[in-house]
A and B are shown apart, each in its own frame.
Chain A
Amino acid sequence: MEDIKIEGTPKTPSVDFKAVDGTLEIKGRSIPENSIEFYKPLMDWIEHYAKTPQDKSTVNIQLEYFNTSSSKCILDLFKKLEAINNEIVINWYYEEDDEDMLEAGEDYDAIINIPFKMIEVEEI
């Protein structure tokens, strides 16, 4: 299947989904007014990938900002990932002192049945 590579913009994150490597990365900021438009192709990709996933999949979420419209889409994206039966981990990055971003990761961790790893970095 085809990889997804999208450059980031001031309102949407960069996306790098590689099926062969089993790595899915979303990085930057996600603050579009209507995020469904942006996230729908990513969800479709995951749905497809979940049918024949790698032995191990790594998901890196490295967001500086996201709005509430995106938060719902991110949840739906994680729900699609739950269909993967092989090993999978979600690395949730947050900037040091960014309690809000850490809490957001903890919230998803509590809802989603996939292991989360919280990773503090100096800057995103």
Chain B
Amino acid sequence: MNVKKSGEIFEEFSRFNDDSVMLAFRGEVSGTLLDSLLEIAEKRLHHLGCEKPTRKKAFNILVECLQNLFVHGNEDILEEEPSGVIIMMASDDGISIATGNSIHKNAAEMLKSRLERLEALPKELIREEYKEQLVNGKFSNVGGAGLGFLDIARKSGRQMEYQFSPIDDERLFFTFNVKVS
């Protein structure tokens, strides 16, 4: 029998899971899991001791990110088991929230053009764009209002970064990182 030393396992674990990681999860984000993750995140944010406005922004953004994963993270029908990723980390100058999920190339094209448009927007117009979308946007068939990324951009001061990495001919892995400070 070849059993790995427990100390080694914990060493490996602590290498990527130090105190700065407030929350990390990979797998299918179901409704009940989403609720639990939010509950844990809220407690950790509370204990972090950062300013309340920063804490509230981070929680708000986390809600949008997790709900994005919940709604869009399971759309890839080629994937045997949905593997959405969420990582929330604290640093000296703020809180980062990163998500990852596989996405079909057609959906990726649409998402990319939306994010590019958002990036090109002068900062002072983000609020106007949000209002415009609030008034004229329609609910999509999955319950989104098309406001998620606009809201994230607004609340983070658009400290955002994203990438699309090819998985195969049909799919890409979308990673997104937003920082609140």
Residues of A within 8 A of B (CB): 10-11, 31, 33-36, 64-65, 67-69, 71-72, 75, 95, 97-100, 103, 107, 110-111
Contacts and interface: CB of A to CB of B under 8 A. Distances in A.
Nearest to B143: A34
B153 to A, nearest CB: 12
Interface string B108-127: 00000000000000000001
**Size category, B interface:** 20 to 34
A69 B68 CA distance: 11
Given A107-B130, A107-B131, A33 B31 contact: yes
Contacts of B179: none
Interface of B: 31, 34-35, 38-39, 51-53, 56-57, 59-60, 63-64, 67, 70-71, 127, 130-131, 134-135, 137, 139, 143-145, 147-148, 150-151, 154-155
17 contacts: A10-B38, A33-B70, A34-B143, A65-B56, A65-B59, A67-B64, A68-B64, A68-B144, A68-B145, A68-B151, A71-B145, A71-B151, A72-B137, A75-B134, A75-B135, A103-B127, A111-B134
